[in-house]
Structure 1
Amino acid sequence: MSTYNYIIKYIIVGDSGVGKSCLLLQFTDKRFYAGRELTIGVEFGTRFISLKDGKQIKLQIWDTAGQESFRSITQSYYRGAAGALLVYDISRRETFEHVSTWLSDVRRHANPNTTIVLVGNKCDLDERRRQVTREEGEKFAKDNDIPLFIETSAKSSENVEEVFSITAEDVYDKIKSGVFSPNETSGIRLGHSQSTIAEETQTSGCC
């Protein structure tokens, strides 16, 4: 059995075709498959990562369908998510314009302390195909109190590792500060390890 300190639940949301499933596949399997069909309902993947201080984390990642017809189904998976990747396609402005709706859904159905990251995917494309500037993504994140924004490419793997890692680091900071407590509601569970923050912060008696 693998040893890890925490299990953290993620969700990936956004319009159909923005590359959510490809981001998950690139992160979990380190490969890109352009011929993926649209997600029906939800897909699931896991991977272990190490944080900067050496803590081992198991990520449980739910990739949700972007079609309107599945929204009532996928929203049930938002509950108990500690991290949410809000994805749009930089070459399709309409997917960026719909980000506010996805953000509202996350904030309505997920934990109020969920770490949300705005992700502009497909940054490998020729700049002539870009319809959403980096500055627009940064402004949307700032205007909507989203602390983290990053552009990625599921095809070239640019920043894919980073987006999942920085989300985990932010969630872990919330665990350390007491914002999150490990339970099903928070989307965080203790893992198979004796070295947990709770144990590390316990103080012994004076004598």
Structure 2
Amino acid sequence: MGERVERRVIPQWSQYSHTHHQHNYQNGCRGHQQQQQQQQQQHNTEPCDLVCKVMLLGDSGVGKTCILVRFRDNLFLSGNFISTVGIDFRNKVVCVDDVKVKLQIWDTAGQERFRSVTHAYYRDAHALLLLYDVTNKTSFDNIRAWLGEIKEYAQDDVVIMLLGNKSDCHNSDRTVRREDGERLAREYNVAFMETSAKTGLNVELAFMAIARELKARKSGLHNKSSFNVQEYVREQTQKTTCPPCSS
């Protein structure tokens, strides 16, 4: 459903990305205005039927930037790379049935000192992808705090999806069970899946599920229960985990 891109691995974060990742934190409101202008320019140059703002949230190091790069460019960032400073964004147009949906994906810094910057962006978000690292119990324990921030700063009807990233890890490295993620998602009534930016597992599915949900809401079909993002995620993840049937 998105454009096909040859897979390859980036050994480290490029100088371009280093510069791009720092482009707003130090400039404050002036930087925010510049981003809004850049946003508008890209809206005018890329044809689409629907524009949706999606934010990536979670502790530092859970893989937000890697998830974005995997989805946007089908690449994996290996080795050391520079953490996101403040906030950054990329666009990608995907096709949902016959509708072109532009996902404007905002990658946020997970460090506490950048929270005041990212809070300003919550209000305009249509969807939030909240990540934790399945090898880092603290990042999972902090999910409740992140959900508290979402409740305080985001719109009441924002679409929320919980992602347990780095699921490609060895079992000995895992500190958060899949069942724990599922239980927390049920408690907060949000969709859930485990992902891997390294292998690409469920990365495109996460963004496409969000795009389908937002498209359904825009078309008014959401109120008719014709599409449910949680049910869609369950069905699709079962397809990917189910072994091939033998003939």
- Into which bin does the TM-score normalised by the smaller protein fall? 0.7 to 0.9
Please name the residue that 1:185 is paired with: none
- Partner residue of 1:170? 213
Which of 173, 186, 193 is 1:129 aligned to?
Answer: 173
What residue is the counterpart of 1:150 in the other structure? Answer: 193
Q: Distance in 2 between matches of 1:3 and 1:43?
A: 22
SS of 1:32's equivalent?
strand
Question: Quick one: which amino acid aligns to residue 72 of structure 1?
Answer: S
CA offset at residue 178 of structure 1?
A: 7.3
Amino acid at match of 2:156: P
Corresponding residue number in structure 1 for 2:95? 50
Count residues in correspondence. Answer: 178
What is residue 86 of structure 2 aligned with on the other side?
A: 41
> Is residue 2:161 matched to residue 1:120?
no
Aligned: 1:105 with 2:149: yes
Distance 2:118 2:72 in 1: 21
Counterpart-to-counterpart distance in 2, 1:159 and 1:134: 14
The Cα offsets for residues 81-134 of structure 1, whole Å up to 9 and x where unpaired, read as 001000000000000000011111112111111100000000011111111111
Deviations 1:30-66 (A, max 9, x none): 1011222111101111101011x22110110111100
Residue 85 of structure 1 aligns with which residue?
129
**3-state SS of paired residue (1:9):** strand
The 1-side partners of 2:221 and 2:157 are apart by 11
Higher relative CO (CA 8 A, sep ≥ 6), structure 1 or 2? 1
Q: Which has the higher helix share?
A: 2
Residue number in structure 2 paired with 1:27: 71
- State the partner residue of 1:196: none
Normalized against structure 1, the TM-score is what? 0.82
- The answer (yes or no) to whether the contact 1:113–1:179 under 8 Å persists in 2 is no
- What RMSD over aligned residues (CA atoms) do the two structures have, in Å? 1.5
Mark the runs of 5 or more structure 1 residues left unpaired by the alignment: 181-207
Distance in 2 between the 1:119 and 1:54 partners? 27
Could you list the structure 1 runs, at least 4 aligned residues long, displaced by more than 6 angstroms after superposition: none
Instruction: Name the SS for the 1:10 alignment partner.
Output: strand
Answer yes or no: is 1:74 the counterpart of 2:118.
yes
Please name the residue that 2:61 is paired with.
17
The answer as to whether partners of 2:50 and 2:215 remain within 8 angstroms in 1 is no
Tell me by how many angstroms 1:171 deviates.
1.5
